[in-house]
Structure 1
């Protein structure tokens, strides 16, 4: 099923209404869809580099709006919708322990999930479930998703097709390493 969704998402990059499809994929990826919008965004930007930042902007706005749906699922329908989604993603066992610490580091959790390959939908649902302040959630989502989508767009705009392999294989790792270094620095400053 995941492979079919992946293939469908990739085929939509060539569709005449690809921007609308990107908006839809970005929206639902933030709350329930397993395929990241980057899969659609990358070929769209490679096909039309002059529209790279428009494409990234559509992904950003749609993703943040979809994140609000995830937040609402967590806040209003966690037991009936949110918990089964998190269970399907294998995150159900750690929900209680995570809830206790989540709002203490909520800004960082949303930022990290919005940038790295960690499923953003998990954080959007958890943010609603733990009643993270909505303003914090929105601002952090804009920063995180903006960084993710606009860095990809800028790299593709500047370097074109050769950067595609780097983005698909190494950029998530680079973001993850950056976050690890950032967190390590924060803890070092806090405990030194």
Structure 2
């Protein structure tokens, strides 16, 4: 099933609607959707390496915009939507500890967590919940999300054919590692914070 999804995503890159689908996933992931845009971004960059930088730009912009929505959820709607999302992911206890860490380490939390497999929506919602300065939040989000997506674009531009060959020849291993990283991000958030 994952192999068909990967092949479908590769074929999606040729469609005119591909950037819009990528933008929607990137936006949603930063505020409520559990799947990171990398699952679309990497195959699309592999299929169209000439558009890797453009795809990175789309992900950066829409991720930050989605992050602002996540921030608003944390700031204004934490008691209803934000708390429900944290409960859905089983992270209510971690959210409180994470919130208190913002008093001293807010900027480092945003910078470091934006680059890791820890779901970014947890950072955005908690940033709003903790009342972190919105201007700094946006600036740090642009830096960290841009760094992440442009790093992927650089790797795909430089090593794309080799990476595609590795993925094609070892798909089950790569898919398993990606799933472990995604689950590991949620687990890390829950137990480290």
- TM-score under structure 1 length normalisation: 0.79
| Counterparts of 2:14 and 2:126, CA distance in 1 | 34
Gapped regions of structure 2 (runs ≥ 5) = 168-173, 182-193
Determine the structure 2 residue equivalent to 1:163: 163
Give the deviation of 1:163 after TM superposition: 2.4
Give the deviation of 1:15 after TM superposition: 4.0
Q: Which moved more, 1:9-18 or 1:77-86?
A: 9-18
Determine the structure 1 residue equivalent to 2:190: none
Summarize the alignment of residues 63-102 of structure 1 with structure 2, pairs less than 5 Å apart. Answer: 63-102=63-102
Summarize the alignment of residues 17-36 of structure 1 with structure 2, pairs less than 5 Å apart. Answer: 17-36=17-36
CA contact (8 A) 1:13 1:41 kept: no
CA contact (8 A) 1:75 1:129 kept: yes
| Counterparts of 1:56 and 1:96, CA distance in 2 | 32
Relative distance call for 1:22 and 1:135 in structure 2 (3 A) is same
Is residue 2:28 matched to residue 1:16? no
Q: Which moved more, 1:12-21 or 1:152-161?
A: 12-21
| Counterparts of 1:37 and 1:59, CA distance in 2 | 8
CA contact (8 A) 2:30 2:121 kept: yes
Report Cα offsets for 1:121-174 as digits up to 9, x if no partner.
Answer: 00100000010001111111111101110000111011113225589759x98x
Identify which of structures 1 and 2 has the higher relative contact order when contacts are C-alpha pairs closer than 8 Å and 6+ apart.
2
| Counterparts of 2:104 and 2:5, CA distance in 1 | 39
CA contact (8 A) 1:49 1:160 kept: yes
Report Cα offsets for 1:94-120 as digits up to 9, x if no partner.
Answer: 333332222311111111221110010
CA contact (8 A) 2:29 2:35 kept: yes
Give the deviation of 1:7 after TM superposition: 4.1
Give the count of matched residue pairs. Answer: 170
Determine the structure 2 residue equivalent to 1:151: 151
| Counterparts of 1:147 and 1:7, CA distance in 2 | 26
Backbone CA RMSD of aligned residues:
2.8
